[in-house]
Structure 1
């Protein structure tokens, strides 16, 4: 059993503000309530990915019995040797300038050439990125000071949909971002032709063009997902499908396509579309073998156990234990 302890986290972003002033925490809470209400009325996405990840991390720590405090500047200053956590968007480096040793993440990590300048006022001992392959971009600069730290998946938010009534065979999740005019015909349209030839029905969800309710409905009505993306630092969409009991076939060439990251990445870097994945989840494919890999995946559909994988590998408790270990390393 993990001993109960106080954990101080600092977050600054669109939802919560790190306000180092009297009544700052109260003002931030009012801002969060107003923003959430405004966006809810307009049916917009309530929270950013960084804030969702931060909340899931906090929930995991609290599930382990930790006493979690957020943006308590006074306490941190009274205990300058206590390690803290920092998270959020780029402004957090200006808003949280404390002497305390810190672990950073989830949040925005500057590119290596900008990192020293942007983080100069902070005492960050360890930076985190969502997966090991992505950490390797920063390793030449940071060495062991950059570590993988996944965003946990809350199973209670993603009920098992494997036995729900099905209205279509395949959910195609289209997150093709670079060279789209060239790659959409090579990947998406080719896949659609193969599904049609096999008499399989499908729906397409394009990243950034659907609501959460539409995503949930598509998962509920589908038997499997095909995930089309060049690479992912974690890949919450496919992991939420796995959590829902939906097996995934993922396009994974191992190629880093993002031009900004290619500029700074080690030349031998192998990227991944599904950095958290094993045989219980489904299969991967390259363009050279798309149709054959799909046919094998479809034939074995009943044998996958994707929800079991998520429960074991991506739980909030596992994430929290990893985070506590990083805090201890930063304090040492």
Structure 2
């Protein structure tokens, strides 16, 4: 098999003067330590891990090779700055990091005809992009390392729930409407819980907290893929997920620029994963059912991951898409 050519870099533009990104990067490293990989970087890292598992050869950020072989397909994983800045001559498989919304570049295929297909992380985002990009957009999810995120069923459980808080917008309002009422209901039912907040942990801390928890309450407005909740499922930990649906809520776009619905906070899911609730009333209504199914071992979240979202399965899907464009 020929090499897969992959490219990824974090956007890091100059801010005040030319080339100031370099000292700013150095200062950030000193003040904040080694940066934690975000969602798009995780796509690149896990895809590479999957290629190595499958023994598929690849080149990573080999700009010299791409320039010398402009006829060879490349995969640009991250945000579009690489396409805009590098001006590749090569045919491109773009994604799954892409734009938040196609209005950022509705004429992408006209400006960059060497882009052959766009990958987005999930089905509802694909539907959001199709009016702009038609059948040139495809849904693809990066795989979950099911060996790293192994079952924790043999671990002693100190807490009934881990609450994973990834609420991003209108936090004070949702704290009153949803988050604090959840705490209150759990306390009233003598259910113990601890809390982890998105962006404030490293993966080992999440694994440690999952080990101590019988189940997870996942709070997020919507996810395009949702790597963290899928890592939780891979540990065989069922999830009680807030999935209110409705409009895409990103305040940069909604409601003035974009109104798109429906969205989901758990776009990859079946009834083995757990239960979903729309609001605090449904949380209260369905909590006894969730606890009953949890007690009776009716959920099989890890099996869902092993059948659909492992590193090998998802990486092979990427390779198949890549090779279809050769």
TM-score (norm: length of structure 2): 0.85
Residue pairs, 1:248-287, within 5 angstroms: 248-256=239-247, 257-263=249-255, 264-265=257-258, 267=260, 269-287=261-279
Relative to total residues, which structure has the larger helix share, 1 or 2?
Answer: 1
Asked whether 1:236 is paired with 2:227, we answer yes
How has the CA–CA distance of structure 1 residues 56 and 212 changed in structure 2, closer, same or farther, with 3 Å as cutoff? closer
Q: Give 3-state SS (helix, strand or coil) of 1:299's partner.
A: helix
Corresponding residue to 1:296 among 289, 308, 311: 289
Partner of 2:58: 68
Corresponding residue to 1:164 among 141, 152, 155: 155
Asked whether 1:307 is paired with 2:302, we answer yes
Partner of 1:100: 90
Unaligned runs of 5+ in 1: 16-30
Query: In the aligned structure 1, how far is the partner of 2:130 from the partner of 2:99?
Result: 13
Partner of 1:218: 209
TM-score (norm: length of structure 1): 0.84
Residue pairs, 1:24-63, within 5 angstroms: 44-63=34-53
Partner of 2:101: 111
How has the CA–CA distance of structure 1 residues 8 and 44 changed in structure 2, closer, same or farther, with 3 Å as cutoff? closer
Shift of 1:44: 4.7
Corresponding residue to 2:119 among 128, 147, 154: 128
Query: In the aligned structure 2, how far is the partner of 1:46 from the partner of 1:252?
Result: 27
How has the CA–CA distance of structure 1 residues 178 and 42 changed in structure 2, closer, same or farther, with 3 Å as cutoff? closer
Unaligned runs of 5+ in 2: 13-21
Partner of 1:179: 170
Query: In the aligned structure 1, how far is the partner of 2:324 from the partner of 2:169?
Result: 38
Corresponding residue to 1:321 among 281, 300, 316: 316
Asked whether 1:144 is paired with 2:101, we answer no
Q: How many residues align?
A: 307
1:109/1:127 contact within 8 Å kept: no
Asked whether 1:84 is paired with 2:74, we answer yes
Query: In the aligned structure 2, how far is the partner of 1:201 from the partner of 1:177?
Result: 24
